[in-house]
Amino acid sequence: MIAKLSPELALELDRRGDRPLPVEHPRTHRRYVIVPATDDDSDAQVARPSGRFEQWTEAQNARRFALIDKEIAGQLTSAEADELAQLQREMDDFLQQVAPLPLEALRKLHEQLIQQTHREPA
């Protein structure tokens, strides 16, 4: 079986091109990576991420800062807004690989709060 993507995920995949897309299961918070399949991949042979992620460079960061400054000044073009969004995603991906935030305790608390809101009043 091949699962169908939501329109939101499909749009994000379109934006990323051939780069892997990290996703998180909303209930279990388990993380997955969606990678493009090649033409010869079948359901039994799914492409796996290489484990190699792009490095974040000073040049990329300088460009990101320059675009943020233009955004604050109200001078960002549509193309530059797209470029900034791409740079932000790349930076987020890189940070997730080298220094992921310790969010497990917050996820557990969030789950408890959700369960409490769904309980019937006493």
| Strand, coil or helix: 88 | helix
Residues in the chain: 122
The string of pLDDT tens digits covering residues 72-84 is 999 999 999 999 9
Integer angstrom CA distances of residue 101 from 23, 29, 113: 15, 14, 21
Q: Inform me whether the pLDDT recorded for 117 exceeds 90.
A: no
- Mean pLDDT for 113-122 is 77
**DSSP letter (8 states) at residue 21:** E
Strand partners, 23: 32
Give the lowest-confidence range in 3-12, 39-48, 97-106. Answer: 39-48
The string of pLDDT tens digits covering residues 18-74 is 777 888 888 887 777 787 776 554 444 443 344 445 688 999 999 999 999 999 999
